[in-house]
Amino acid sequence: MELSVVTGDITAQAVDAIVVNLFQGVESPGGATGAVDVAIGGAISSLIAAGEIKGRRGEITVIHTLGDAYSGFAPDRVLVAGLGKSEDFDLDGVRSVSAVVARRLRRLNAGSAATIVHGAGIGGLDPEACAEALAEGAILGLYRFDKYKTSSKPTFDETRPTTLALVENDGAKIPALEAGVARAQVFAGASLAARDMVSEPANVLHPTRLAEIATGIANEGGMEIEVLDRADCEALEMGAYVGVSLGSHQPPKFIHMTYEGDAANPDNNLWIVGKGITFDSGGISLKPGLNMGAMKGDMSGGAAAIAAMQGIAALAPTLNVHMVCAATENMPGGGAQRPGDVVIAMGGKSIEIDNTDAEGRLTLADAIGFAKLKGAKRIVDIATLTGAMVVALGNGHSGAFSNDDELVGQVIASGAKRGEPIWRMPLDPISKKQNKSEIADLKNTGGRGAGSITAAHFIGEFAGDTPWVHLDIAATNMGRSVHDWEPTGATGVPTRALIQLALDLGS
């Protein structure tokens, strides 16, 4: 879809459809909606009076104007988008309405469309931020992953709408709106890149392919990248990460990408560490077969981390950002590690393998060890780590665990700005004891109770005193149904929050 910003009158746009809006409870539309109402003979007012248009959030009313039915009115259709209650409307509301509208335009087979900027008028929100949220919502809301479908044909054109113009009467506002749309394309483009990676089947997106994608993103963004093979990782004594990889025929790939936005100050850095299990069978502690196919998405944290670097390179914060993804499969081959084994992580900590299905934390242990060796001053790790996170928070929030109040506050704030909500969870001393091993420094599971907390405690052992946040995205990496700007399947969470964090830290 091609996005543009134009100066003019929404009623004069020669497009298949125009989009205006209405807050709940408004009986007489004003502004651009009022102008359109007048142009089409009061049709909007009539439908409000009849109770057909209520302005509820997510409500879309289509009015067919039949081309030349109204003198001087060019659009073929008018979509009236309900914004809900004005006091509740915010930038997430703009994203949501825009995504819903974009999907309706596609179902209407509208090739070209024009819209006013929701929230920027009577809504009282910043016009640039509204344009950014609108463009983000439209791009994200139209996402589909159907590259492998060959037989079924949709009943509407999947490529539509092909153009969407944001129309503004005041020419002085155009540069700000254009800046917002341009930034939205970077954020949304990165999120779509993450969704694509997560959506690929595991026989296509294995560790080697993930490293190739990261290399392409690094090259395009002018970033440095190194990819370590098994022998390199063994030389660095990454026993925890290498141990996970032993059951698979796919070679592990340890990916390290670097963006230098403040090269003169190497300590001004952020390390983003993404879990990269491209398929998780559970290993010897084999998962049940039901829904195991979803485990191709166990690299969602790595995908978000890699894709975030694409956006970071484009927006160029004054910050050095490193990305690490210890990619591997977790398979039950003849060489796989066993429950009861003991491995030695980078830095010397010994770990008893209590359950081979608690593998992500093992790979993160060595990834964080590598980050600390290289001088990490702030670490944020992202992982689809525990089913317990879904039980604790449902599907509305990612969970955050941290040893640093300031950094976790910045992470949560970044998520809020991008509509990727994050909720802080506790790290209490009682549950930490559950990771105690009788024969090693710690074991890789702490039992059923407080599962997401004990997993975070395990990772925290390797972060030490370095400011660190662990994001458990097991509840948010996959959508169960289309909701607002998130699809069924891979959501791309928290790609946009990570980009925003880098911008906030590097401003």
Q: Where are the alpha helices (DSSP H) in 316-386?
A: 360-373
Question: Cα angle vertex 186, ends 469, 507, to 5°?
Answer: 55
SS3 content of the chain, % helix, strand, coil (to 5): 40, 20, 40
Q: What are the φ and ψ backbone dihedral angles of 333, each rounded to 5 degrees?
A: -75, 175
Torsion angles phi and psi, residue 364, rounded to 5: -70, -30
Instruction: Catalogue the E-assigned strands of 268-319.
Output: 269-280
Residue 140 is classified by DSSP as: H
- Name the band, by pLDDT with cuts 50, 70 and 90, for residue 67: low
296 flagged as catalytic = no
Cα 498 to Cα 325: distance, rounded to the nearest angstrom: 15
Rounded-to-10 torsion of CA 472, 478, 479, 480: -100
pLDDT in tens, 285-329: 999 999 999 999 999 999 999 999 999 999 999 999 999 999 999
Note if 287 is an active site residue.
Answer: yes
The per-residue pLDDT for 123 is 85
In 425-467, DSSP assigns E strands to: 442-443
What is the CATH class of 188-505? alpha beta
User: What's the whole-number mean pLDDT along residues 249-272?
Assistant: 98
| pLDDT, tens digit, 9 for 90 and up, residues 113-129 | 999 999 998 889 999 99
Mean pLDDT, residues 265-273? 98
Global model pTM greater than 0.95: yes
Please, which residues bridge with residue 19 across strands?
79, 115
- pLDDT tens digits, 207-232: 999 999 999 999 999 999 999 999 99
Half-sphere exposure of 137 (CA within 13 A, CB side): 28
Structure confidence at residue 153 (pLDDT): 58
67 or 486, higher pLDDT: 486
- Return the DSSP state at 401: E
User: What is the spatial distance between Cα 1 and Cα 309, in angstroms, rounded to a whole number?
Assistant: 23
Give, in order, the Cα–Cα distances in Å from 248 to each of 48, 278, 386.
Answer: 62, 11, 22
| Coil, helix or strand at residue 483 | strand
Exactly one of 95, 160, 195, 361 is catalytic; name it: 361
- The pLDDT of residue 223 is 98
Cα–Cα distance, 321 to 62 (Å, whole number)? 46
Catalytic entry in 57, 103, 287, 424: 287
pLDDT of 71 higher than 80: no
Q: Does 155 score more than 60 pLDDT? A: no
Average pLDDT over residues 33-59: 96
- Hunting for tokens 């702490």 — which residue is that? 446
Q: Which CATH architecture has domain 2-169?
A: 3-Layer(aba) Sandwich (3.40)
What is the mean pLDDT of the segment spanning 396-418?
A: 98
Q: Which long-range contacts (CB under 8 A, 24 or more apart) does 149-157 make?
A: 156/106, 156/107, 156/108, 156/109, 157/106, 157/109, 157/111
Which one, of 376, 388, 495, 390, lies nearest residue 447 by Cα? 388
Instruction: Note whether 219 and 168 are within 8 A (CB).
Output: no
For the stretch 1-17, pLDDT in tens is: 999 999 999 999 999 99
Token pair for residue 252?
Answer: 């592990």
Residue 206 confidence (pLDDT): 98
CA–CA separation, 33 and 390 (whole Å): 42
Domain ranges of the chain: 2-169, 188-505
Higher-pLDDT residue of 441 and 157 is 441
Which tokens belong to 487?
């699809």
Residue 388's SS3 state is helix
Token readout for 459 is 């990772």
- The distance of Cα 37 from the centroid of its chain, to the nearest Å, equals 38
Which tens digit of pLDDT belongs to each residue from 358-376?
999 999 999 999 999 999 9
User: 101 pLDDT band (50/70/90 cuts)?
Assistant: very high
Same fold, 2-169 and 188-505: no
CA pair distance 51, 67, nearest whole angstrom: 25
Band of pLDDT at residue 427, cut at 50, 70 and 90: very high
Confidence of residue 150 (pLDDT cuts 50, 70, 90): confident
Count CB atoms within 10 A of the CB of residue 218. 24
